[in-house]
Structure 1
């Protein structure tokens, strides 16, 4: 089978080779998906550069986290999944850029029948992560000001839709005027071009000096620190990723003085589910969500999808053979929405 594998670190076109490797066989309790689509993620760019410590297997390895396809083989105990069209996360969050992908059922969900393969591929990660950040952890309320960073991206655009659906007042940041217009078209009350200067000052002006109640931060680094300067007392800052610079994952924390003076709460958000109660807490700071929560979130999202309140946003499609070039376009901040790969 074909697989895009990282052989050396560098830009995706330098790091990746399209190899022929043996098809994997699912062990007991696991499933195998034959993808029709996969999706690009910033974490995979970091994987090409060898700077993503969370997913850092030995070279060479098959890149890719997400797939959309049909379950074509199962291990003992997973028979119920055979033949179903699913969103799935590759086991251990790598191995997805291949013709056959092994997955753990805890990170597999039925794809909505109303969506074609391309739309369905763009649905799972952005909306689950956004729900976790806005509703489960962020506790968004109607009428609150919500600041969403990287709002034109795959996750950010989903977060804008869910925040608008929650009747919040949404401000999005993006890196160009065209992207800002795109964010406004999703229902955001305002959009700020972060390349024009200090977004925190503009956000404070938009809110009449009050600041925002909730920040959905998938950028990290300096953006996180600046966000504290435009939040209201008692606000909540949800850290969901580090698109600006993955090294911020392990950087020294925020200035204590700023934390004291801002009087806000900071929370982390992780998209990971498990049916094993032993891993819900107590894993030395690595707490996974119960699968039952994932099922409830998926049901909530599918209801909103069916009612036309949210929709996956596909920024473009690319052939499987052109995957490295597409990753480089994302790395250069030239994309909006989700970029779906046709397998």
Structure 2
């Protein structure tokens, strides 16, 4: 079978190689899945660079999120266990972790539902305790992680302010349902948030970017606001001024969704059931900007790494349902 493998760390477009490898054999407690769609996540780029918190042995196959088909014909979503990731024709996964793919979503949409939407739901509901009527500020609102948070924020009854870079991404953020969109390239984020909230600021900030986005957030977070730290797509990890958090009475909360898989797996299942319900109601729907062939996966991962994509880019192996 074909599988993309990383033989040395570096930029995805340079180090990912399409190899012919043996089809994996499931061990006890595992299932073999035919990959129907594999969603590209920013951590896939970090894995290629050797910058992720998990560093699988070389060579490895990236791809942490798939929609696949079991040998008995069930359509499921799963997180393949590294080093044998999802950018391959077949993967093995732990049977206890697979979840049914929502019937309301196609394969690419289902593949993109899991990590980004689970992260958004846990970040907004478990960590930030968002309430209807509050104002939610979402950075990178047109991206894969941000677009999920926008939809989940609207579903929770929040007023959503989206930050995007450039007119095209701003347009997409508006189409996703943002009540206000701020183009960070031409507009003052802090001033716009304060103007939109009557000087109060955002009750919840969802930040998958870090760096300057975080620096702007602390200047426009509300009294008793919550900043949810999701990731550092900018490449810059901020150093919070805890004296500032003390003076302004806001909370800085971290969200590492993967930890729930080991610490509270029942909560992951309950979240999936809620997401499936929201998808069936049409309240959420992953934004799939591209469906690329297996041969184009390395280029697609590089574009995600470079921040030039919107929504989700999904790899669809030849012959897989779309």
Fold agreement, TM-score > 0.5: yes
2:249 is aligned with 1:263 = yes
Alpha-carbon distance in structure 2 between the residues aligned to 1:21 and 1:206? 55
Please name the residue that 2:5 is paired with. Answer: 5
Q: Does the 8 Å CA contact 2:69/2:76 hold for their aligned counterparts? A: yes
Contact 2:60 2:83 in 1 (8 A): no
**SS, match of residue 95 in structure 2:** strand
Residue aligning to 1:229: 219
Please say if 1:65 is aligned against 2:41: no
Name the residue aligned to 1:55: 54
Q: Take 1:93 and 1:2, find their aligned partners in 2: how far apart are those partners?
A: 15
Give yes or no for the alignment of 1:217 onto 2:207: yes
Structure 1, residues 27-75: CA drift from partner, whole Å, max 9, x if none?
22222221011011111112222222x1212222111111111123xxx
CA RMSD of aligned residues (A): 1.9
Which residue of structure 2 aligns with residue 285 of structure 1?
none
> Is 1:90–2:90 an aligned residue pair?
no
Displacement of 1:273 in angstroms is 6.3
Matched, 1:188 2:178: yes
Give structure 1 stretches of 5+ with no counterpart: 73-81, 281-289
Task: Name segments (4+ residues, structure 1) moved above 3 Å.
Answer: none
More displaced 10-residue stretch of structure 1: 312-321 or 260-269: 260-269
| Mapped partners of 2:214, 2:259: distance in 1 | 26
Q: CA deviation at 1:89?
A: 0.3
Moved more, 197-206 or 315-324: 197-206
Q: Residue 185 and residue 197 in structure 1: after superposition, are their counterparts in 2 closer, same or farther (change >3 A)?
A: closer
The count of residues paired between Structure 1 and Structure 2 equals: 317
TM (norm. structure 2) is 0.92
Aligned-partner Cα distance in 2 for 1:93–1:182:
34
TM (normalized to structure 1)? 0.87
Looking at structure 1, the residues matched to 234 and 278 of structure 2 have their Cα atoms a distance apart, in angstroms, of: 30
Partner in structure 2 of residue 21 of structure 1: 21
Kindly indicate whether the alpha-carbon contact (under 8 Å) linking 2:56 and 2:83 is maintained by their aligned counterparts in 1: no
Q: Of residues 151, 156, 162 in structure 1, which corresponds to 2:152? A: 162
**Higher RCO, 1 or 2 (CA under 8 Å, sep at least 6)?**
2
Q: Which residue matches 1:296?
A: 270
Given that residues 56 and 82 in structure 2 are in contact (C-alpha distance below 8 angstroms), is that contact kept between their aligned partners in structure 1?
Answer: no
Inter-partner Cα distance in structure 1 for 2:111 and 2:227: 28
**Mapped contact 2:105–2:279 kept (Cα < 8 A):** no
User: Contact (CA 8 Å) 2:39, 2:108: kept in 1 or not?
Assistant: no
Higher deviation after alignment, 190-199 or 35-44: 190-199
- What is aligned with 1:76? none
SS at match of 2:227: strand
Q: Which piece of structure 1 moves more, 221-230 or 159-168?
A: 221-230
